[in-house]
Structure 1
């Protein structure tokens, strides 16, 4: 059932990740300030600053070695942060031990810590910025890629198939009679239907497939290394199962609205010699062929890949 308070889990999760990183940055800043205070004021050395595994137990370390969503884990900066953070702690511990032994601290000692702090902070900011970039790659309503981000994904996939001479498939999907849903039930219900559909498609695809909102009730799907024949088999399964789904939407007056939807699918190849624009155009043509054939159908467009 779709509740009235439903929000895109993808966008919500990325926002939560960014909030968690901001909190980790604040805790790290407090840790650094405490280190400076101890050093400048000649206070007693705190054990957490010189323990061998102190980097795991500071405020940042508790966040880093906790649980994270895939959106954080897949960022390039995430594994790099561990090394940078540990190096920083090692340098801090070295200075603390020298101070504890009443050895003279040099400017080189301090400059080394500051240099490592800068490297660490830049990496942490880069992680947060990359998540911000990913956040703006998603359609807020449905949680799938937005049009611009999906085009970028298709460009990477096209470069790959040009290099390997393999073929992938793209699919244009359009909800059937969606205007009637908006006219009969209102745009809020229509939005929830779109969200349900996008979530259903994502769950029905393979982990390495992608889906993006092309516009309105139209969506694009990318199926890497998938022939037209295999893509048709996958989409027929999804189309048939979608038609059997029952969507329950809770109304403001506590009543539950029950409805079902169908969609029309058009499939084309993304392969060497046939650019992205052509693949989208021919998938769109195939989708309209499915519409004119009575809707709730899968149609394909075939062309041969250019030989190497």
Structure 2
């Protein structure tokens, strides 16, 4: 879900709510037809009825590409098709016999409830994802960052997979705000996050860590492979177009500090290592990436300000 943009999530949620309403209306009309012994709609007994009802028109329309392989979204399709198959049998039975076997009706109700469960499970996941997004950039916020990093750390402890993190800081970002204004600075942040999200694997994540700092997590990747990926990202960032009174294109670079999620340490200490590596990247001239190693001088109070904010009350206005 995190690979879908905030705007796509909002649009999908709005469309899904309308599709749920349409489905509820269809269900009411169907039950009314059976109780009142009214003629059924021939479209409801067709083999492809699940494609042509109004809910199906939404589902088989043009959902975001990332949803097509999402387990909850696929489950909706399975249950929706099954419900229409049960419905067709029920309508034909009602028309031919003038009544419906209670067991067949129970099967119809069960199919409807299973579909409803899958729909609302998917809806809840969209809403939860929106609630954990940074309102400006669409990156995940810090609300659940530590808990997810701890889950990765546990996998490392069990020898299942190693994972790494990187902290990204946009270089000389204050100059962007001072020169072009804070609205332009916001555009730069959004452009960087959109670029990174499009070039990460679907299991990698980006969190807004501070003002212009972001933490990236890479499940199953060692720090050397992460560095190679970071270098591709860093070198591939295009010029950013700033819209405003006068449209301008500027180059905004970034520095990265990389560290392994060390299973012998708590997550906060691994984050401090990435922070120290970021400091080394800045000292090296910025616009580069550094991997933490034991020879690096720890940055004084590295990460303490961030971690105290994370551990305490979460400030989502950053």
Please, which moves more after superposition, 37-46 or 186-195?
37-46
Q: 2:283 aligns with which of 274, 287, 292?
A: 292
Counterpart CA distance in 1 for 2:70 and 2:247 is 40
Q: Identify the residue that residue 189 of structure 2 maps to in structure 1.
A: 194
Shift of 1:74: 4.3
Residue 246 (structure 1) aligns with: 239
User: What is the 5 A alignment of 1:59-70?
Assistant: 59-70=54-65
Segments of structure 1 that go 5 or more residues without pairing to the other structure are 1-7, 304-308
* Alpha-carbon spacing, 1:264–1:37, altered in 2? closer, same or farther (3 Å): same
Is the contact between residue 161 and residue 219 of structure 2 (CA under 8 Å) also seen in structure 1?
no
Of stretches 169-178 and 270-279 in structure 1, the one that deviates more from structure 2 is: 270-279
CA distance in 1, matches of 2:224, 2:78: 47
Q: How does 1:137-148 map to 2 (within 5 A)?
A: 137-148=132-143
* Counterparts in 2 of 1:25 and 1:105: CA distance versus 1, 3 Å: same
Structure 1: distance between partners of 2:226 and 2:95: 67
Q: 257, 265, 278: which one pairs with 1:266?
A: 257
* 1:175 corresponds to 2:166: no
- Match for 1:121 among 116, 119, 129? 116
**Residues 40 and 267 of structure 1, relative CA distance in 2, 3 Å threshold:** same
Contact 1:168 1:225 in 2 (8 A): yes
Q: Which residue of 1 aligns with 2:41?
A: 46
- Residue deviations 1:67-90 (CA, integer Å, cap 9, x gap): 321443344322222332233223
- Determine the C-alpha separation between the residues in 1 that align with 2:184 and 2:138: 17
| Residue 4 (structure 1) aligns with | none
Contact between 2:155 and 2:162, CA under 8 Å: does it hold in 1?
Answer: no
Cα 1:188–1:94 change in 2 (3 A) is same
Distance 2:36 2:267 in 1: 64
Structure 2 residue matching 1:223: 3-state secondary structure: strand
Could you tell me whether the CA contact under 8 Å between 1:75 and 1:127 is conserved in 2? no
- Deviation of residue 35 (structure 1)? 0.9
4+ long deviations beyond 4 Å: none
**TM-score of the superposed pair, with normalisation by structure 2:** 0.82
Q: Kindly state the Cα deviation for residue 188 of structure 1 after the two structures are TM-superposed.
A: 0.5
Which has the larger displacement, 211-220 or 47-56? Answer: 47-56
Q: Distance in 2 between matches of 1:146 and 1:299?
A: 24
1:229 aligns with 2:220: no
Q: CA deviation at 1:13?
A: 0.4
Contact kept, 8 Å, 1:9 with 1:143, in 2: the verdict is: no
* Unmatched segments (≥5 aa) in structure 2: 295-318
1:34 aligned to which of 14, 29, 38:
29
Aligned with 2:292 (options 271, 281, 301): 301
Task: Write the deviation string for residues 160-212 of structure 1: whole angstroms up to 9, x where unpaired.
Answer: 22223543221111112212222232211110111112123334444543222
Please give the per-residue CA displacement for 1:262-307, whole angstroms capped at 9, x wherever unaligned: 222111111321222111111011112222343223222126xxxx
Deviation at 1:9, TM superposition (A): 7.6
SS of structure 1 residue aligned to 2:208: strand
Deviation at 1:248, TM superposition (A): 2.2
> What secondary structure sits across from 2:5 in the alignment?
helix
Are 2:272 and 1:281 equivalent residues in the alignment?
A: yes
Q: State the Cα RMSD in Å.
A: 2.5
Instruction: Count how many residue pairs are aligned between Structure 1 and Structure 2.
Output: 292
Structure with higher RCO (Cα < 8 A, 6+ apart):
1
Task: Report Cα offsets for 1:96-155 as digits up to 9, x if no partner.
Answer: 222211343344443332232222212211111111112223222212222224334323
